[in-house]
Structure 1
């Protein structure tokens, strides 16, 4: 499922139209433990810095001090993620959380006006599909960011986790229902199918609304397969903050680096085994459920744990390349962009939507990460060829600017999208 180059919708002229009177950013969590929440929080801060009033509506306790310090108002549900709540509560609230209706409905009744834009990021852990029913009155001014595929796919990844390959089926079709693709059990798959069915009944598209913001152009056919109208989709690549503003001289370094959560989906175990087979050093930056096992099985690997952004930037200056062997189709992968813009070549799964973009620019290598010999071969190839590594490093640094946004251009892109919808809504409201 390699993606096509992501350049089609990156360069856009500013869309004339009114600025929003307020943006309501909606997200399951207020503390960033993943990329989607980090982007939701970043958008709130950047929009607020542009002088636009921002409200952050969150499913958790809303205890992020950075929001209060920035002067961003917070409306919190006080809920827990599915794995943190009791089993019965998780089953029930995961399907449809009625408290979400009260929280979102109260906010709309008290504060909505024709210039308010609503931007939903994540909902599957706390807010539940009830959020779409709650947002129905403002559907024409609603944006949904597709950070993954939970908008259309029961397991959120179009992945057959048990079979180790991508899914060819139509979500909620007969083949989908008959396939055990879940990491846990078929019973859990059926629960996810039930949740997706509830979501399909609460999320209705009419006249290309709500608008869906895809982070890569290659997400479009997969979203359409799951029922999102093509006219509703706009590609807005993620913002990238590089680890280094000058090119990291990767050809002078020896160690490969993995950056991310240490779980099965991200494939840190594949990276460790491939590094051992290739005879190359590996640095692993991150934390997660596989950490203890990896430390036990791979004492030759250096584990740095989870690190703040500035520490990651220091550590990767000694890296030769980033290894990103995800077991499922990554829609984007922020660390890949951060590495490329810093001059680090990237070795990634050929199922990643960025794979074709990186390979065509000769800024890295793509392979099937489940083929450990191929992954080890890719690492050995870069380890043994300084000229190739330097060429890929320079290409990564100079030829990948179109694969993402700066924080400023990303903010511009969001405001352009909001302005276009508000410009369309005003004549309709007047009529």
Structure 2
């Protein structure tokens, strides 16, 4: 029986989908009566966690590039303070019924978190929200071009490939961090890895993670709207996400401007000024609450998700699709084939501004097509994600299996064990 659940993540104040899910898991598990502790690298100033009665253990540090670059180079390889915090908490509070769930570590906690968690490895579960578990740059892509990388991480081909947009020195540092992480993590005997899309499996396996350790667990989704948005009556292009190069907000601005389309941008980040220059008429709304995003989505014709690199899931794409919004997304997004096959999306190379703009025009200029895509999105995409309740059910089952395992137990693949209990 599960005693305490420890959620571990760089941030307690969500800046993106992964941290949002870490906080959501902690709050929803607490709501089901579990004792939950949230160990975080930041200051721990989370109203959501506090209101949910979650114990917060905070390191009080900032993301890597928020401070001195020289210090970041050192702490990013091995954050001794983070290691001590996690190790000492385990030494004081661990019990045989405590289970640990690691989310993100690349921004603050560093690979040192794997070393601190080693004594409780038999009760550890890891969520792969991105590819940092396997790939030095976390994307399996050449970051300047967006081309998908075919190499085995840390192989000779990988090490000689200039894939980092900040140059060779940064690539070498990332590779060194990956080597440190691999030594502490030991992928070939990995604890269960929860992959947010089945398409992540082959990427993760390149790093030596056994197939039996990888469990496909789609993200939980709450749509912008519980009723189908009549997209065919609307005119606006909607972007929701961090205003960073990774998410392609500037590419959305270029394409919308080229297509002569109205653009509404929800999110914060360093590209805000660039977006204003590219598309002066765009509405930049900043960070908004779920209720405010719902109101903005009600006026949208489509949502765009032009990620520059392979997007493991793309939470916002399913939030939009489940609301009846057609989605234009990158071909390299793992959801692209699913959404296109359902009739709900168009996949593009977002760096090709003309093709991206043509896709926007296609939806803008054809009401019948837009309605058909909207209805397909609303009806045919439900299998691509989980409801929040179903997601927590699955997490509880996984945690329960981890607690039941005796030290040194070598069971059948966890996914098979879970299926056997259904």
CA distance in 1, matches of 2:295, 2:25: 26
CA distance in 2, matches of 1:278, 1:87: 40
Alignment correspondent of 1:365: 346
| 1:70 has 2:52 as partner | yes
| Deviation string, structure 1 residues 75-102 (Cα, Å, up to 9, x no partner) | 1222222112322221111101122222
How is 1:8-19 mapped onto 2 (pairs within 5 angstroms)?
Answer: 18=1
* SS in structure 2 at match of 1:68: helix
**8 A Cα contact 1:116 1:141, kept in partner:** yes
* SS in structure 1 at match of 2:257: helix
* SS in structure 1 at match of 2:252: helix
CA distance in 2, matches of 1:214, 1:392: 28
* SS in structure 1 at match of 2:265: strand
Alignment correspondent of 1:146: 128
Cα deviation, residue 180, structure 1? 1.1
2:111 to 129, 132, 150: 129
**8 A Cα contact 1:332 1:354, kept in partner:** yes
Alignment correspondent of 2:14: 32
2:380 to 399, 402, 405: 399
* SS in structure 2 at match of 1:337: helix
Alignment correspondent of 2:94: 112
How is 1:214-233 mapped onto 2 (pairs within 5 angstroms)?
Answer: 214-233=195-214
**8 A Cα contact 2:136 2:174, kept in partner:** yes
**8 A Cα contact 1:104 1:131, kept in partner:** yes
CA distance in 2, matches of 1:299, 1:59: 37
CA distance in 2, matches of 1:255, 1:392: 16
How is 1:155-234 mapped onto 2 (pairs within 5 angstroms)?
Answer: 155-205=137-187, 209-234=190-215
Stretch of structure 1 that moved more, 104-113 or 231-240: 104-113
| 1:278 has 2:259 as partner | yes
2:65 to 83, 96, 101: 83
| Deviation string, structure 1 residues 210-247 (Cα, Å, up to 9, x no partner) | 11000000000000012211110101111101110000
2:289 to 308, 315, 318: 308
**8 A Cα contact 2:253 2:278, kept in partner:** no
* SS in structure 1 at match of 2:375: helix
TM-score normalised by length of structure 2? 0.94
Aligned length: 410
TM-score normalised by length of structure 1? 0.92
Gaps of 5+ in 2: 411-422
Cα deviation, residue 166, structure 1? 1.2
**8 A Cα contact 1:162 1:180, kept in partner:** no
Distance change in 2, residues 1:102/1:164 (3 Å): closer
Cα deviation, residue 427, structure 1? 9.4
Stretch of structure 1 that moved more, 42-51 or 73-82: 73-82
| Deviation string, structure 1 residues 56-77 (Cα, Å, up to 9, x no partner) | 1111222223322322111122
| Deviation string, structure 1 residues 101-150 (Cα, Å, up to 9, x no partner) | 22111111111111111000011111110110111111111011100000
**8 A Cα contact 1:30 1:60, kept in partner:** yes
Cα deviation, residue 291, structure 1? 0.8
| 1:57 has 2:46 as partner | no
Alignment correspondent of 1:240: 221
CA distance in 2, matches of 1:289, 1:32: 17
**8 A Cα contact 2:43 2:58, kept in partner:** yes
Gaps of 5+ in 1: 1-17
1:92 to 64, 74, 78: 74
Cα deviation, residue 161, structure 1? 1.2
Distance change in 2, residues 1:316/1:110 (3 Å): same
Stretch of structure 1 that moved more, 87-96 or 218-227: 87-96
Distance change in 2, residues 1:426/1:203 (3 Å): closer
Distance change in 2, residues 1:378/1:344 (3 Å): same
| 1:293 has 2:308 as partner | no
1:264 to 245, 252, 257: 245
2:392 to 403, 408, 411: 411
Alignment correspondent of 1:423: 404
Alignment correspondent of 2:416: none
* SS in structure 1 at match of 2:66: coil
CA distance in 1, matches of 2:365, 2:157: 45
Superposed CA RMSD: 1.5
CA distance in 2, matches of 1:411, 1:308: 23
CA distance in 2, matches of 1:66, 1:332: 24
Higher relative CO (Cα under 8 Å, sequence separation at least 6) belongs to: 1
